[in-house]
Structure 1
Amino acid sequence: MARFKYEGRDRTGKKAGKLSANSKREAVLKLSEQGIRMINIEEIPETFLTKEIAIGNPVKLQDFVIYLRQFSTLLRAGVTIVDATNILSKQTSSKALRNALEQIEEDLKSGQALSDSAAKHNRIFSSMFVNMIKAGEASGSMEETLDRLAIQYEKQHRTKQKIQSALAYPIAVAIVAIVVVIFLLVSVVPTFVSMFEGFGAQLPAITLFVLNSSIFMQEYWYVVILFFVAIFVGFYALRKNKQTRYYLDVITLKMPIFGSMIQKAVLARMTRTLSSLFSSAVPILQSLMIVEKIVENEVISEVLAKSRASLENGRSLTEPMKQHWAFPPLVTQMIAIGEETGSLDEMLGKVADFYEEEVENSTDRLKSLIEPLMIVLLAGIVGTIVIAIIVPMFDIFNHVQM
C-alpha cells in the first residue's frame, strides 16, 4: 500500500495531509468521499531510509496491550470506533501501530468493518485478534472482546518475560565465559609459551592442550568466528523449514530442566488463547485452526490439527491429545470435562491459570539453582586455564632450585 500527500479544499477551507491507498485513483476517491476537492496529490517515494524494517511483529506487546485497554475504555465512554481509532493513532508511541491505525481509520470512514481492515495488517493484528473482533462486531460486545484480548496479551507477555528472564542469566554467563577464555588464550597464555619452550621439559597434557588452543586461536581466529556464524545460520535455516522445526521443538520440549518449563509455557499460551476465542463465540474448528498457527510450537500445532480432524469426524477433541506425550493428563481431563459440561472456555481458563503459575514458580526455582551452577562452571573453565599455566611453573621453580 502506497503513501500519498495531498492538498485540497473542503467546506472549512484549505486542507493538506497524508493517506495510504493502493493507487492514486483510490486515494482521490477516498478524499472525495470525505468531501475534499483535490488541488494536488502525489505519491511519497519509499526509500531505504524511510522504509520501516522490522522482524516479526513490529509492535511491542506492551504497546499493543495499552492500545487494547484504551480502545475498550473509549468505547465504554460512548466514543465511536472511528473517533477512538483517530485518538489512539495520535497517542500511541509505536510508529508501526500509528501507521496501521491511520490506514484503519480511512477504511472505517469508507464503510469497512474493523476486523476486515485489521486483517490487512497481519504483521500487527494476529488472526486471533481479527476473529475475536469479528465475533465482537457480530454480537455487539466489542468492549468485552477488547478486555478479553488485553488480558490474553498481558498474560502472554508476563509468561514470555518470565521465560526470557530465566534464560537470560545462563546465556549471559556463557557469553562472559567465552569472552574470558578468548582473552586468556589470546593475551595471557602466549606470554608463557617462550618460557615453556626454553624450559625444554615434558609439559603436562592439560598445559599442552591450553598452549595448542592458544596457538590455534591466534592463527585461525577467523575459523572460530565462522564456526559461530555457521551455527547461527544453520539454526536459523533449520527453524525456517517446517519439518526440521518440528524435530527442534521435540528436542526443546524434552530438554532437561528447561524443557518442562517451556512445555508449560506453550500449554499456557494454547489454553489461554483457546479460552479467549471460545469466550468470544468464535467457532471451535476455526479457533483450533487459529491456535495451530500462533502457538509457535510445531509439536503442539500438529496435535491441535489432529484434534480438529477428530472433531470434524465426530469424535472427541481430546482423543489425539491423550495419545501424545506433550499433553499431561491434567490438560486432557479438564478439556474432556469442559466438553461434557459445555464449559470448555472456563476449563481452559483454569488450565491456563495453573500453567501460568507453574511457569512463574519454575522460573523462580530455576534462577535460584542455576546462578551458583553457572558461577561454578565459569570458575572451573578459568581455573583450568590458570592451573595449566601454574603447574609447569612449579616444575620450573623446582628445577632452578636444584
Structure 2
Amino acid sequence: MVMKRFRYQAFSREGAKVTGVVDASDAEEARRTLRSAGMAVQRIAPEGTRDKRRFSLELTRPFDTSGFFRELAVLSGSGLTLDQALHVMRSTVDDRSARDIIEAMAARLASGEPPSVAVQLITGLPDDLRALVSVGERSGSLPYMFSVIAEDLARRAAQRKKLLDAATYPAFLLLMMLGAVMVVTFVLVPALQPVFDGSDKPPPVMISALSGLRELLLGPWFSIAASSLLLILALTWMLKAEMLRDWVQRLLQRTPVIGSMLIKAILARYLQSLAVLLDNSVSLPDALGLSAECCTIRDLKPRMGELRDKVVSGRPLSEALHESALFSAKVVSLVRAGDQVNKLPVVLSTSSELLREEVQRRADGALALMTPVVTIVLGLLVGGLVISVMTALLSVNELGMS
C-alpha cells in the first residue's frame, strides 16, 4: 500500500490550533489517525496541493455554538448520556468541521476526561461560560447549564446585532464627514490659501488648522510614525495579547455606564451558579469557590475569595455579601430573607434575574440613545465645518472687493 503525506490543521487536546503532516494511505485514514490522537481535524489535504479556497469565494459556516449547546441540553435532558447525545448530534450535522469537533469531544469523554475539558475544543467560548460547565459537573445539572449557556450566547449575539444596527447609521455619517474633511483639506484649502498669503489679512482659524493638518499628513514623519505605531501594536498583540485584553477590560470597567453593566452581568452569573450548586446539595463554601471561577474580572476574584473566607469563619452569607460591597442593598436583603426561611437557592436565582434585567434595561437604553446622540454630535461637527468654509469664502470675496 502506497503511503502519502497529508498536511493538516487541527485542534489539540488543549484546544490550541496546530498544523503538521501525517502519513496515511488516504485522507480518511489520516483523519482517523489524528482523531485517535485526540485531535479535532479542521482541514486536511495531500501535501503539495494548493488550497483552492484561498482563491475562491467559497465561505464556510462558523460553528453554531449557541445551537450546539441548545441541542445538547435537549438531548442530555431527555435521558441520554452526554456521549450518546454527541453521537446523535454527529449523525445530524452536515458541516465537516463541526462534526470533527463533536467527534473529538466524544473521544475525550470516552477516554475519561470530564465535559469541562472536552468543551475546550470549542474555540471562542467565553471563559465564564466554560466555568459554568464545571459548575454543572459538580452540581449534576449539566443539561440545565447547557441551556443557560445557549441562552447566554444567544443573548450576547442579539446584543451584538443591536449594537451593529445602532452603529451603522452613525458610522456612515462619520465616514461622510471624514470624506468631506479630506476634500476640504486637500482640494479647497490649497485653492484658498494663496489668496490669504498674498494679502495682509490672516486666514480664518479653520483654514489655518486644515492647512496644518494637510502639511502633517503629507509629511514623511507622519507615515513613519503611523507605520511604527501599527507595527508596535501588532507585535504587542502577538506577544502580550492577554495583557492587552486585561487592559481593555480594566478600561471598560472604569467607563461610567459600561463598567457597571459589565460588573453586574458578572455578579448575576455568580449568583446564578451559586443558586444551582446550593440547590444540588453542594456545601456553601465549595459553592462559593466554584462560583468565583465564573468571574472573568481579575480585580473581583480576591474580593470573592474574601467573601468565601468570611462564610467559612462562620459569618452569614448576607453579612458577607454586604461587607464585600459588591452587591446592592436589595440583593443583600433578599439573601438575608432567603437564609432565614431556608430558601437560599430560590432567592439567589431571583436576585440573579433581577441583576440581568437591570443590565438588559441599561443596555437597551444605551443603544436607544446612541444613534440620536452620535447623529447630533456629527451634525454639529459637519455644521461647524460648513460654517467655517462659508466664512472663508466670504473672506475671499471681501479680499477681492478691496
Confirm or deny a common fold (TM above 0.5).
yes
Once the two structures are superposed, residues 180-228 of structure 1 have per-residue CA deviations (whole angstroms, 9 ceiling, x without a partner) of: 4543343332212232223343112232112212332333653456657
C-alpha spacing 1:5/1:268, structure 2 compared with 1 (3 Å): farther
Q: Which residue in the other structure is 2:379 paired with? A: 379
C-alpha spacing 1:289/1:166, structure 2 compared with 1 (3 Å): farther
The amino acid of 2:71's aligned partner reads Y
Q: Which residue in the other structure is 1:195 paired with? A: 192
Given that 2:185 and 2:214 are in contact with CA atoms closer than 8 Å, whether structure 1 keeps it comes out as yes
- How far the C-alpha of 1:305 sits from its partner, in A, is 1.7
C-alpha spacing 1:249/1:332, structure 2 compared with 1 (3 Å): farther
Q: Which residue in the other structure is 2:92 paired with? A: 91
The amino acid of 2:345's aligned partner reads D
The amino acid of 2:275's aligned partner reads S
Q: Which residue in the other structure is 1:126 paired with? A: 130
Q: Which residue in the other structure is 1:64 paired with? A: 68
C-alpha spacing 1:46/1:178, structure 2 compared with 1 (3 Å): farther
Once the two structures are superposed, residues 61-116 of structure 1 have per-residue CA deviations (whole angstroms, 9 ceiling, x without a partner) of: 4133323234235x43xx55543321112334676653343134345556x37547
| SS in structure 2 at match of 1:202 | coil
101-110 vs 81-90, which deviates more?
101-110
- How far the C-alpha of 1:177 sits from its partner, in A, is 5.8
Alpha-carbon RMSD:
4.4
Q: d(CA) in 2 for partners of 1:394 and 1:183?
A: 23
C-alpha spacing 1:120/1:394, structure 2 compared with 1 (3 Å): closer
1:87-236 to structure 2, matched below 5 A, reads 87-92=88-93, 98-107=99-108, 109=110, 112=112, 115=115, 118=118, 121=121, 126-136=130-140, 145-146=142-143, 148-161=144-157, 163-165=159-161, 167-168=163-164, 172=168, 175-176=171-172, 179-192=175-188, 193-199=190-196, 200=199, 201-219=201-219, 222=223, 223-224=225-226
- How far the C-alpha of 1:328 sits from its partner, in A, is 1.4
Q: d(CA) in 1 for partners of 2:47 and 2:340?
A: 56
206-215 vs 167-176, which deviates more?
167-176
Given that 2:166 and 2:367 are in contact with CA atoms closer than 8 Å, whether structure 1 keeps it comes out as no
Structure-2-length-normalised TM-score? 0.70
Q: Which residue in the other structure is 1:361 paired with? A: 361
Given that 2:109 and 2:115 are in contact with CA atoms closer than 8 Å, whether structure 1 keeps it comes out as no
Q: Which residue in the other structure is 1:390 paired with? A: 390
| SS in structure 1 at match of 2:293 | helix
Given that 2:139 and 2:280 are in contact with CA atoms closer than 8 Å, whether structure 1 keeps it comes out as yes
Q: Which residue in the other structure is 1:278 paired with? A: 278
Q: d(CA) in 1 for partners of 2:290 and 2:47?
A: 33
Does 1:268 find its partner at 2:268? Answer: yes
- How far the C-alpha of 1:393 sits from its partner, in A, is 0.6
- How far the C-alpha of 1:6 sits from its partner, in A, is 8.1
Once the two structures are superposed, residues 292-322 of structure 1 have per-residue CA deviations (whole angstroms, 9 ceiling, x without a partner) of: 3332223433322221222233333344532
- How far the C-alpha of 1:159 sits from its partner, in A, is 4.3
Q: Which residue in the other structure is 2:292 paired with? A: 292
Given that 1:272 and 1:348 are in contact with CA atoms closer than 8 Å, whether structure 2 keeps it comes out as yes
Q: Which residue in the other structure is 2:3 paired with? A: none
| SS in structure 1 at match of 2:179 | helix
Q: d(CA) in 2 for partners of 1:277 and 1:185?
A: 58
1:37-48 to structure 2, matched below 5 A, reads none
Q: d(CA) in 1 for partners of 2:366 and 2:145?
A: 30
Given that 2:86 and 2:106 are in contact with CA atoms closer than 8 Å, whether structure 1 keeps it comes out as yes
5+ residue gaps, structure 2, are 1-11, 14-20, 52-61
Counting aligned pairs with the same residue, the percent is: 15
Q: d(CA) in 2 for partners of 1:23 and 1:236?
A: 31
Given that 1:268 and 1:351 are in contact with CA atoms closer than 8 Å, whether structure 2 keeps it comes out as yes
Q: d(CA) in 2 for partners of 1:232 and 1:362?
A: 34
5+ residue gaps, structure 1, are 8-14, 28-42, 51-57, 137-143
| SS in structure 1 at match of 2:289 | helix
- How far the C-alpha of 1:20 sits from its partner, in A, is 6.2
Q: 1:240 aligns with which of 229, 239, 242?
A: 242
1:331-342 to structure 2, matched below 5 A, reads 331-342=331-342
